[in-house]
Amino acid sequence: MDLYPAIDLRGGRCVRLYQGDYGRETVYGDDPVSQAVAFAEAGAPWIHVVDLDAARTGDPVNRPVVAAIAAAVPVPVQAGGGVRDEAAAQALAEAGVARVVLGTAALEDPDLVRRLAPRIPVAVGLDARGGDVAVRGWEQGSGRDLLDVARSFADAGVAALVVTEIGRDGTLEGPDLAGLALVLAETSIDVIASGGVGTLDDLRALHALEAGGRRLSGVIVGRALYEGAFTLAEALAATAGG
């Protein structure tokens, strides 16, 4: 299970939101590039980057920062936030991003995912409150069921599903193991868990999670690393089964 330390960008800074609420933001640093380099030097196999401004408005104001991160680290970068069309996805790929995450666009234009996937490694971000997948920077519900959406991309050629329970994101209260198990059992696509990780035991529980003969391919961790709940080295050991 790969560990994806998260860098969430807002106004060029490293931040975290509580339950996706833009009014409940914690700033963790003014130099996201240095933070990415530190994660990579500590052994992270991936860096996960989200442009929160673009996710909310569609305006990719942090794209230069994403490009700088991709240029600075020797590991692949997975990035998303506000990727609403082919041009935005292509721009991230040309900026050095190894895998582009589509959320709102994947819900509103599933054919976009199918057009992109043969050319650009694509992950679909499924951000849900309960079973309802949210869009537009998590500010609107789509009325679509999480499992139905996951199943709908079975033959789309996507590299992964990034599954976030918004109610747990940034809370450190533990991941939604039951919800993740349902997604694992319903799809053959790699599943990356996101939201709620607060302890090494949470990471061990995700590593051990199995459903339908499948296990998680990755986990995204943000606030717990920034607040020192554990080190990245400890997290890497836990995600390796240690």
Q: Which has the closest alpha carbon to 63: 49, 73, 74, 76?
A: 49
Q: Which has the closest alpha carbon to 112: 72, 141, 153, 63?
A: 153
DSSP state of 82: S
The residue behind tokens 């069309």 is 85
Measure Cα distances from 27 to 16, 112, 153, 168, 230 in Å.
7, 33, 35, 19, 19
Read off the tokens for 3.
């560990």
Buried b (16+ CB within 10 A) or exposed e, 180-217: bbbbbebbebbbbbbbbbbebebbebbbebebeebebb
Q: Which candidate in 2, 8, 53, 176 is catalytic?
A: 8
Q: Which candidate in 2, 51, 53, 127 is catalytic?
A: 127
Is residue 85 part of the annotated active site? The answer reads no
Buried b (16+ CB within 10 A) or exposed e, 140-152: eebebebbebbeb
Please say whether the beta carbons of 12 and 32 come within 8 A: yes
Q: List beta partners, residue 180.
A: none
Is residue 8 part of the annotated active site? The answer reads yes
Which residues are marked as active site?
8, 127
